[in-house]
């Protein structure tokens, strides 16, 4: 109720990005785009309607963008006709940001609202090497003809950003050109047709996009050997006295291109960069946080190939059972950080976790983000949870809900005899419901001493179990062994 429209749109865009990013995990990483599409059909094959929902997330060296479509289609006697389409777009392209919404009726755009933004610097030097003009009467008209040969050296730097990333484009080049103009001389104006040829246009260009999953950059040389334009041009005169004579000086041509032809662009790429996922920032940040306070453990500094699996937010009747079954199948121990209010009535399930050889930790009483809970209430909840768990199994580890903590939270944990455990590998599983993404993320970022954070959420057991089926054999094949938090801490 309290959310404004901007917050709602931002939330929708963030969810779309996460869903599309999960598809990226399954896609060929050489592909610059990921698309999702859903079609909902009503009626029969002869008479009915389709509602098509689609989204696209793209990143290349020159573009980072996300767009979504809601399309209504009519089905008549086996054929499909586009009726209306609503299109929303946010992209960084060539150092320029475009945010827009568009409405189409059939193939026609009937309404749009877009904003183009960004910072640009475009210096240039233009030089006319040769210029000839001649005015003359012909058939009662006063005509003017002219020819010029010139060249230019130009450059540009553009910077822009949006929700999907940031882009930069740098360019420096030179052009040799010539034009011929024929038209009417109307004393204060000259207007006519101009044939202009860019005889040589070559430029060095660098493009880079820093997006949701990495850095893409390209540096190369571009060359268009020939471009011919037929323009309608108009030029305004400025009258100026020079001694006793009134002379005309002419301002620059204003032109409208009527016909354009250009040869294919030649391009030589000298350097191309496709970066690793930026999710690694989260991992490195986690390790940095762990180094700021000795009471926080985000990983264990060891050369031994050992890791710890941890699960937050249980117990849950269905998902916890699935996870326990999968861990038993692979003969792997783990640590479960349990929420006190969810333990009530499920004490036997907590006992099953302990008897299976797994460790138990305190994850607050209500599971609300710990940094948003008043200190006294949070500590009281931690004590309540401890009282529920300690008769079943030893409890000495604490993880704040949502993974963020303050000195006050650390003090409360320490006063209750806990050490605070975070983690350094977190595959965003509460939001991205895709075991393929989770497994690829974990296998990319794990290293000796890592603490992997997964979630034992209601209805999420099947996905988490599949993730475990993917990562445990793969990590074992790499020589990794699995430990509880206590066992991992013993490696220090």
Q: What distance in Å separates the CA atoms of residue 206 and residue 269, rounded to the nearest whole number?
A: 10
Residue 204 lies in a domain: yes
Residue 20 lies in a domain: no
Residues 70 and 124 in one domain: no
Q: What distance in Å separates the CA atoms of residue 487 and residue 277, rounded to the nearest whole number?
A: 31
Please choose, from the candidates 125, 276, 139, 294, the residue with its C-alpha nearest in 3D space to the C-alpha of residue 211: 276
Query: How high is the pLDDT of residue 212?
Result: 57
Residues 6+ apart with CB under 8 A from 195: 179, 180, 181, 228, 229, 230, 231
User: Domain boundary residue among 116, 145, 176?
Assistant: 116
Tokens 């309540």 sit at which residue? 384
Is residue 114 within 8 Å of 94, Cβ to Cβ?
A: no
One pLDDT digit (tens) per residue for the chain, 492 residues: 444 544 444 444 444 554 444 444 333 334 456 778 889 999 887 889 999 999 887 777 778 888 899 999 998 888 888 999 999 999 988 889 999 999 999 889 999 999 999 999 999 999 999 999 888 888 778 888 999 999 999 999 999 988 778 889 999 999 999 999 999 988 888 899 999 999 989 999 999 888 655 677 889 999 988 999 999 999 898 888 877 887 888 888 888 999 999 888 888 888 777 654 444 445 555 555 555 678 899 999 899 999 999 999 999 998 999 999 999 999 999 999 999 999 999 999 999 999 999 999 999 999 999 988 999 999 999 999 999 999 999 999 999 998 888 889 999 999 999 999 999 898 888 888 888 888 988 998 899 999 999 999 877 788 999 999 999 999 999 999 999 999 999 855
- What are the pLDDT digits (tens) for 427-475? 888 888 888 888 988 998 899 999 999 999 877 788 999 999 999 999 9
Q: What distance in Å separates the CA atoms of residue 274 and residue 214, rounded to the nearest whole number?
A: 7
**How many Cβ atoms sit within 10 Å of the Cβ of residue 165?**
24
Residues 285 and 269 in one domain: no
Residues 439 and 323 in one domain: yes
Residues 111 and 250 in one domain: no
Paired strand residues for 478: none
Please spell the DSSP secondary structure of 353-378, one letter per residue.
HHHTT-EEEE--SS---GGGS-HHHH
Per the structure block, which two tokens stand in for 370?
Answer: 């710990």
Residues 39 and 143 in one domain: no
- What are the pLDDT digits (tens) for 116-131? 999 999 999 999 999 9
Compute the 3-state secondary structure of the chain and give helix, strand, coil in percent, each to the nearest 5.
25, 50, 25
Please choose, from the candidates 145, 150, 484, 166, the residue with its C-alpha nearest in 3D space to the C-alpha of residue 307: 484
Alpha carbon dihedral 40, 44, 48, 52, in 10-degree steps, equals 20
Residue 176 lies in a domain: yes
Residues 235 and 381 in one domain: no
Is residue 73 within 8 Å of 52, Cβ to Cβ?
A: yes
Residue 365 lies in a domain: yes
User: Domain boundary residue among 240, 274, 308?
Assistant: 274
**How many Cβ atoms sit within 10 Å of the Cβ of residue 62?**
19
Is residue 431 within 8 Å of 454, Cβ to Cβ?
A: no
Residues 349 and 461 in one domain: yes
Q: What distance in Å separates the CA atoms of residue 460 and residue 465, rounded to the nearest whole number?
A: 9
Residues 247 and 338 in one domain: no
Rg (C-alpha) for the chain, rounded Å, is 33
Residue 340 belongs to domain spanning: 280-489
Residues 96 and 125 in one domain: no
User: Domain boundary residue among 258, 274, 290?
Assistant: 274
Q: What distance in Å separates the CA atoms of residue 160 and residue 58, rounded to the nearest whole number?
A: 16
Query: How high is the pLDDT of residue 490?
Result: 85
Residues 156 and 202 in one domain: yes
Number of domains composing the chain? 3
Tokens 């011919």 sit at which residue? 228
Residues 6+ apart with CB under 8 A from 124: 152, 153, 154, 155
Query: How high is the pLDDT of residue 476?
Result: 97
């Amino acid at each position: 109720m309290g959310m404004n429209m901007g917050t709602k749109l931002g939330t929708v865009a963030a969810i779309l990005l996460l869903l599309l990013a999960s598809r990226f995990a399954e896609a060929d990483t050489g592909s610059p785009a990921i698309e999702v599409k859903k079609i909902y059909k009503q009626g029969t094959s002869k008479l009915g309607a389709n509602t098509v929902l689609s989204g696209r997330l793209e990143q290349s060296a020159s573009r980072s963008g996300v767009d979504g479509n809601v399309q209504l289609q009519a089905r008549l006697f086996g054929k499909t006709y586009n009726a209306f389409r609503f299109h929303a777009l946010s992209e960084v392209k060539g150092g320029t940001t475009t945010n827009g919404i568009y409405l189409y009726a059939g193939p026609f755009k009937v309404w749009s609202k877009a904003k183009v933004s960004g910072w640009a610097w475009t210096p240039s030097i233009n030089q006319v090497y040769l210029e000839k003009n001649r005015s003359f009467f012909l058939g009662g008209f006063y005509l003017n003809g002219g020819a010029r040969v010139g060249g230019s050296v130009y450059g540009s730097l553009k910077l822009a950003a949006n929700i999907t990333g940031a882009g930069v484009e740098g360019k420096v080049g030179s052009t040799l050109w010539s034009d011929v103009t024929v038209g009417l001389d109307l004393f204060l104006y000259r207007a006519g047709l101009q044939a202009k040829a860019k005889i040589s246009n070559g430029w060095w260009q660098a493009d880079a996009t820093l997006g949701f999953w990495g850095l893409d950059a390209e540096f190369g040389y571009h060359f268009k050997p020939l471009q011919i334009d037929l323009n309608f041009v108009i030029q305004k005169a400025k009258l100026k006295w020079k001694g006793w004579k009134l002379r005309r000086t002419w301002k620059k041509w204003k032109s409208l291109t009527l016909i354009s032809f250009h040869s294919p662009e030649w391009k030589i790429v000298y350097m191309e960069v496709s970066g690793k996922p930026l999710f690694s920032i989260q991992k490195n940040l986690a390790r940095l946080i762990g180094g700021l306070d000795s009471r926080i453990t985000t990983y264990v500094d060891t050369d031994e190939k050992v890791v710890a699996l941890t699960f937050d937010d249980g117990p849950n009747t269905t998902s916890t059972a699935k996870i326990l079954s999968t861990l038993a199948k692979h003969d792997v121990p783990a640590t479960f950080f349990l929420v006190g209010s969810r333990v009530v009535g499920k004490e036997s399930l907590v006992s099953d976790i302990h008897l299976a050889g797994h460790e138990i930790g305190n994850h607050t009483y209500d599971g609300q983000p710990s940094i948003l809970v008043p200190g006294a209430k949070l500590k009281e909840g931690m004590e309540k949870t401890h009282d529920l768990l300690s008769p079943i199994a030893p409890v000495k580890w604490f993880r704040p809900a949502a993974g963020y903590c303050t000195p006050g939270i650390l003090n409360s944990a320490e006063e209750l005899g806990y050490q605070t455990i975070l983690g350094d590998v977190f595959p965003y599983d509460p939001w991205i419901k895709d075991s393929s993404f989770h497994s690829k993320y974990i296998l990319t970022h794990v290293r000796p001493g890592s603490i992997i954070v997964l979630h034992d959420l209601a209805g999420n057991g099947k996905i988490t179990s599949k993730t475990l089926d993917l990562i445990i054999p793969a990590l074992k094949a790499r020589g990794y062994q699995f430990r509880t938090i206590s066992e991992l801490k013993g490696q220090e």
